[in-house]
Structure 1
Amino acid sequence: MSRESYQQLLDELREHVVEMGDLVVERLEAALTALRTVDREMAQSVIDSDDEINELYLALEADCIDLFALQQPVATDLRFVAASFKIITDLERIADLATNLAAYAQSADRRLAPEVDVDTIGREATEMVERSIDAYRREDVEECRAIAADDDALDALCQRASETVARDLIEREADGDDGWAVEQLLDDVSRLLLTVRDLERVGDHAVNIAARTLYMVETDSELIY
């Protein structure tokens, strides 16, 4: 295979990874909308679409393996293909987290800790994913470092949200006067805490994508460890 043909395959891989990233962001945004509006039909649509993401992941995994096998890649190409493989794994996991969020939306109840701003946390996490995909596309190492730095702010938002949920639970009198059964209260606490945790994990995967991009471009592992 000529170098020109091989380069075309590498370019196509980059394009397909970016397309997968855009699709995952779309699913994540839909899950967050379903949470905000308690739209159970939209939530089910996100859950049902998970198979599509999984199939796309497997197809791109096969492409990466083929690129390793077709021609012994030089160091730069090797890092690019390896980074792309790692990145699609993170994207697949973000899609799984979007499915989790959609599942929470199907039984959402925002009477508990209504001051917890899931929308803001979700927007921050989604923006980090979008930025990480764009940094991979453009090989923007400064943006990779900025994404990693911004993860601290997302972590702080999630920490405050979790503390708010705990405080609300302590202050609430689960004595039945407001119609809340203890079991229902605990279910709602669990669901809201899981929502916050999963959004924090979305941010972590965005940082992983940035870390792999940075290593791909500069052989710099500072964000990986």
Structure 2
Amino acid sequence: MSRGTFDLHLESLHNYILRMGSIVEKQIYDATEALHKQDLELAKKVIDDDDIVDNLEKEIEDRCIKLIAKEQPLAKDLRMIFTSTKIVTDLERMADHAVDIAKIAIVLKDEKFIKPLVDIPKMAGLVKNMIREGLDAYVEGDVDKAYLVCKKDDEVDDIYRGVFKEMLPIMAKDQSTINQATQFLFVCKYLERVADHVTNICEWTIYLVTGEIKDLNE
């Protein structure tokens, strides 16, 4: 395989990852929308569409294995392929968290909410933007952008802590709210974990460009 053909295969790999990322981004949005609007059908769709993400993960991993097995990639190419496998693993786990949120949406579909959902949609919006910008940083090989995306993780963490502090007195005052409040905290925790996975993608981007392994999930 010529260098030009090999580069086309790497570009195709990028496109598959971007497609997977776009689907995961929508999964996160749809899952939180299903919760917010108590939309049972949308929640079920999020769960059903998880198979699409799983299949894309397998397809991308298969392409990576074939590129290594059939060609003789240079060191920088190996780093690109290795990074791709790590990124799709993080994307797949994000999709799993979207399913987790969708399942909570189903559990709470008929309940009157103890408070209007404000922080969870805000948190989901931040996470959704992080996914898009994190993948942009990866494709562009932009280390500065990767660091900027990681900083947004602090905003997500702040919202999570705020919701936690808000829920504690509500549960203490009325025990009947404990189950629902706990479910909301789980949703926030899942979104916080998604943000952590985006940070992982940014770490792999930095490694891809510089060869340095950074731990930015602190």
Same-fold call, TM cutoff 0.5: yes
Aligned to 1:194, the other structure's residue is in SS state helix
Choose which of 142, 145, 161 in structure 1 pairs with 2:144.
142
- Cα RMSD, aligned residues only: 1.6
> What SS does the corresponding residue of 1:106 show, helix, strand or coil?
helix
Q: Does the Cα contact within 8 Å between 1:211 and 1:224 map onto a contact in 2?
A: yes
Distance 1:63 1:164, change over 3 A: same
Decide whether the 8 Å contact of 2:87 with 2:204 is kept in 1: yes
Q: 1:113, CA displacement in angstroms? A: 4.4
**Higher deviation after alignment, 42-51 or 146-155:** 146-155
- Amino acid corresponding to residue 197 of structure 2 in structure 1: H
What is the CA deviation profile of residues 84-121 of structure 1, one whole-angstrom value per residue up to 9, with x for unaligned ones?
Answer: 11000000111111111111111224633446611111
1:9-88 aligned within 5 A: 9-88=9-88
Q: What is the alpha-carbon distance in structure 2 between the residues aligned to residue 6 and residue 115 of structure 1?
A: 48
1:76 aligns to what SS in structure 2? Answer: helix
**Moved >6 Å (runs of 4+):** none
Conservation of the 8 A alpha-carbon contact between 1:34 and 1:43: yes
Normalised by the size of structure 1, how large is the TM-score? Answer: 0.90
Aligned to 2:170: 168
Taking the aligned partners of 2:97 and 2:216, their CA distance within structure 1 comes to 21
User: Which residue pairs with 2:194 in the alignment?
Assistant: 202
Q: Structure 1 CA distance, aligned partners of 2:112 and 2:122?
A: 15
**1:148–1:223 contact (8 Å) kept in structure 2:** no
Fraction of identical pairs, as percent: 32
Deviation at 1:17, TM superposition (A): 0.6
In structure 1, list runs of 5 or more residues that go unmatched: 175-181
What displacement does 1:132 show?
0.6
Is the contact between residue 30 and residue 43 of structure 1 (CA under 8 Å) also seen in structure 2? yes
> Using the alignment, how far apart are the partners of 1:128 and 1:47 within structure 2?
22
Alignment partners' CA distance in 1, 2:167 and 2:132: 28
- 2:205 matched residue in structure 1: 213
Pair 38,8 (structure 1): closer, same or farther in 2 beyond 3 Å? same
The answer on whether the counterparts of 2:150 and 2:216 sit within 8 Å (CA) in structure 1 is no
